[in-house]
Amino acid sequence: MLTGDTRDGDWGEDVEPPLSSVIQPLVRSSAEPRVLIVDDDEDARSQAATALRDVGFIVDEAANGLDGLKLFVQHRPQIALLEVMTPFVDGFSTCRAIRDLTGGGDASIIIMTDLDDVESLQFGYDAGATDFITKPMNPIVLQHRIKYMYRATEAVDQLRKSRRKIAHLAYHDALTDLPNRRALERYMRRLLESRAGNEGAVFLFDLDGFKRVNDTFGHTAGDELICEVARRITGCFGIETGPGAVDVDTKRTFLARLGGDEFVLVSPSVTGLEDAMAVSNAMLAAIGTVFDLRGHEIVITASIGISLLGEHGDPELLLQRADAAMYDAKAHDRNNARLYSKSLDEKGPVRLKMEGALRNAIGLGELELHYQPKIDAVAGVVTGCEALLRWNSGELGAVSPADFVPVGEETGLIVPIGRWVLEEACRQASAWHASPEMRGLRVAVNVSARQFRDTKFLDDLERILAETGLHPHALELEITEGTLMNDTKFARNVLRQLKSWGVWLALDDFGTGYSSLGYLRRFPFDTLKVDRSFVRDMLSDDGSAAITSAVIAMAHGLRLTVVAEGVETREQLAYLRTLGCTELQGFYFSKALPARDFEAWVAERRISQKELLRPREMPAEGRSSAIPPLLIQSA
């Protein structure tokens, strides 16, 4: 008998706890402990069943081997106790039949017998028995025997499952269960060895702006998005998933996840560029459909790089060249596919060279700020400017922000660069405010998500304002929507601190991300900036026009200033004025200018609020010469 005080779950040193308290912590995921007893002796069977139930086992009973087999298939017990001499089917035959079942090899089978000759023992082991027990059985001995047999069975089962899982993970991605890089390379080697012609293509793709999703919604949501992309692509091409996907026939399309947001699709039937682009377009369409991510509707695009099997001979080279083509796709506005060409081989080293040069750009004095004016839409006077970063590398020449800013974001260099931008913009604005002609201008500075979340951001800004002597009201910080959404409580606290100092706050690129009226009410913004994409398309696209009109009306309702950026034509300007836009910014007035040129531009145009606005004449590449300078009569 088992005894002990269980009030606190504390069993004495010499007291054995109940079976359930021992095995459940040991194997949390296993089924309930279950034993099958097959014996035509009803008394012996009942006595054994009672003894095992007393220590926590579920017991199934059968009087013959046929019924025992049925119960085994139905309940899958971990242990079977089989009497040798049973009607219809003896214990040895029942043992062999269990072992022949799928999964039957995992059970422990104990033969109950009063035969103790060596021949019977050998016959039982040959049939697949795990152990023997002699009848008549002592109930206490039986309890201990079965309990420890159960422990051993479960330990072996867990080891077997662990090995299977390890073997599975060796060739599968843990998140999506797609084949991984190792499985991909094995598939590609088989494909290259088996193909007769030049068919086949490799499509390497990743998601544009995936980092923004992670930063905005968190990594768990990012994982959900990755899994949904995997489901869409496998569904689009009828790709097999699960354990069989690794060894799929090389005539079938294969999808693998390399890691992060990077996938590879191999299509063995593609015969050329036209086929490859058709596959790419199907992928882009599948990915580009709206995702419902935790209640937010978002659109994700992808960039695809293609390498053809007939032109590049081994898996590593195929992947390397598809990767180069993918980065070329990203450089061409993303959401598209590019085929590898030899000219791309030079671009990889250029990126590494750019990163190295960017690390030294501040120390070498290669960074410079240019300033693009903001114009009062009614009075036509300059109200301020936006500071835009330029990099003239001694090693690489003039480098576009579209090229070096992503490198800065990925490497973390954007934080010290952003700090330098704040220092330089505040220093320049303070110097301008000493001049009567420039006094009152507000300078706007973009703050990246990484810089905003930096623990030293507020301290750095407080120091910069003190050192430059710039009044906080003369500084505007432009924050994107994505910056706010990863940790709204943190963002709100930072913005409130900035607002308490008097810093002007602008929500940048409004309408392109995940914005809502709730965010505008929750955060203390002063300004909304209408993204240039809406301004560009509003005269030709009803959707863009509706969004632009709604944003401006909403801003007025919330008593916010609204700035339209990317104004390039007379017609855009006139339409924005009719909508009641507060301020305007774009090439129609001026490109971003070095500080001295900006001063000259302001001096030339800052005459009086009652003067007519004289837009800057655009160079041929900036504005059509057919569009005359617009004269805006002040209100």
Question: In angstroms, rounded to a whole number, what is the distance separating the alpha carbons of residues 614 and 15?
Answer: 96
pLDDT band at 28 (very low <50, low <70, confident <90, very high): very low
pLDDT of residue 103: 81
Residue 297 in tokens: 């509707």
3-class secondary structure per residue, 564-615? EECCCCHHHHHHHHHHCCCEEECCCCCCCEEHHHHHHHHHHHCCCCCCCECC
Residue 7 resides in a domain: no
Question: How do residues 194-240 score in pLDDT, each as one tens digit?
Answer: 876 678 999 999 998 888 888 788 889 999 999 999 999 999 998 87
Same-domain status, 161 and 190: no
Beta bridge partners of 528: 507, 562
Q: Nearest to residue 328, comparing CAs of 316, 341, 338, 313? A: 338
Q: Residues 303, 331: contact at Cβ < 8 Å?
A: no
Question: In angstroms, rounded to a whole number, what is the distance separating the alpha carbons of residues 276 and 266?
Answer: 11
pLDDT at residue 253 tops 70: yes
Question: In angstroms, rounded to a whole number, what is the distance separating the alpha carbons of residues 375 and 75?
Answer: 79
Q: How many domains does the chain have?
A: 3
Residue 330 resides in a domain: yes
Amino acid at residue number 415: V
Residue 100 resides in a domain: yes
| CATH number of residue 134's parent domain | 3.40.50.2300
Same-domain status, 410 and 375: yes
pLDDT of residue 421: 98
Buried b (16+ CB within 10 A) or exposed e, 390-407: bbebeebeebeeeebbeb
Residue 345 resides in a domain: no
Q: Residues 582, 377: contact at Cβ < 8 Å?
A: yes
The residue ranking higher by pLDDT, 164 or 46, is 46
- Residue after which a domain boundary falls, among 317, 340, 363: 340
pLDDT at residue 480 tops 90: no
pLDDT band at 633 (very low <50, low <70, confident <90, very high): very low
Same-domain status, 153 and 123: yes
- Residue after which a domain boundary falls, among 117, 138, 169: 169
Same-domain status, 334 and 363: no
Name every residue whose Cβ is closer than 8 Å to that of residue 91 and which is 6 or more positions away in sequence: 38, 65, 82, 83, 84, 85, 111, 112, 113, 124
pLDDT band at 66 (very low <50, low <70, confident <90, very high): very high
Three-class DSSP category at 84: coil
pLDDT at residue 1 tops 80: no
Same-domain status, 561 and 511: yes
pLDDT band at 63 (very low <50, low <70, confident <90, very high): very high
Residue 622 in tokens: 């900036």
pLDDT of residue 427: 97
| CATH number of residue 424's parent domain | 3.20.20.450
Question: 277 to each of 261, 271, 328, 572, how far by Cα in Å?
Answer: 21, 11, 15, 36
Beta bridge partners of 159: none
pLDDT of residue 311: 62
Q: What is the mean pLDDT of residues 384-398?
A: 93
pLDDT of residue 511: 60
Q: Nearest to residue 617, comparing CAs of 635, 629, 631, 601? A: 629
Residue with structure tokens 């103790």?
116
Determine phi and psi for 258, rounding to 5 degrees.
Answer: -85, -25
Determine phi and psi for 448, rounding to 5 degrees.
Answer: -70, 160
Name every residue whose Cβ is closer than 8 Å to that of residue 193 and which is 6 or more positions away in sequence: none
| CATH number of residue 329's parent domain | 3.30.70.270
pTM of the predicted protein model? 0.52
- Residue after which a domain boundary falls, among 272, 306, 340: 340
Residue with structure tokens 């490198």?
407
Residue 144 resides in a domain: yes
pLDDT of residue 384: 94
pLDDT of residue 627: 26
Q: Residues 340, 221: contact at Cβ < 8 Å?
A: no
Residue 219 resides in a domain: yes
With DSSP H G I counted as helix, E B as strand and the rest as coil, what are the percentages for the chain, rounded to 5? 45, 20, 35
Residues spanned by the domain of 219: 181-340
Which segment of 52-56, 112-116, 143-147, 444-448 scores lowest on mean pLDDT? 112-116
pLDDT band at 153 (very low <50, low <70, confident <90, very high): confident
pLDDT of residue 607: 47
Residue 624 resides in a domain: no
Residue 416 resides in a domain: yes
Question: How do residues 332-383 score in pLDDT, each as one tens digit?
Answer: 767 889 998 877 766 666 777 888 899 999 999 999 999 999 999 988 889 9
Which segment of 98-102, 475-479, 626-630 scores lowest on mean pLDDT? 626-630
Determine phi and psi for 363, rounding to 5 degrees.
Answer: -60, -30
Same-domain status, 129 and 210: no
Same-domain status, 450 and 520: yes
Question: In angstroms, rounded to a whole number, what is the distance separating the alpha carbons of residues 259 and 240?
Answer: 19
Ramachandran bin of 597, using left for φ above 0, alpha for ψ from -120 to 50, beta for the remaining angles: alpha
Same-domain status, 405 and 548: yes
Same-domain status, 222 and 285: yes
Q: DSSP readout, 237-279?
A: HT---SGGGTT--TTS-EEEEEETTEEEEEETT--SHHHHHHH
pLDDT of residue 504: 96
Same-domain status, 375 and 514: yes
> Within a 13 Å sphere around the CA of 170, how many CA atoms are in the beta-carbon half?
7
pLDDT band at 193 (very low <50, low <70, confident <90, very high): confident
pLDDT of residue 625: 29
The residue ranking higher by pLDDT, 2 or 33, is 33
Q: Cis omega (within 30 of 0) on the bond before 136?
A: yes
Question: In angstroms, rounded to a whole number, what is the distance separating the alpha carbons of residues 576 and 374?
Answer: 14
Question: How do residues 72-90 score in pLDDT, each as one tens digit?
Answer: 999 999 999 999 888 888 8
Same-domain status, 308 and 244: yes
Same-domain status, 587 and 440: yes
Q: Residues 36, 81: contact at Cβ < 8 Å?
A: yes
pLDDT at residue 104 tops 90: no
3-class secondary structure per residue, 183-217? HHHHHHHHHHHHCCCCCCEEEEEEEECHHHHHHHH
pLDDT band at 516 (very low <50, low <70, confident <90, very high): low
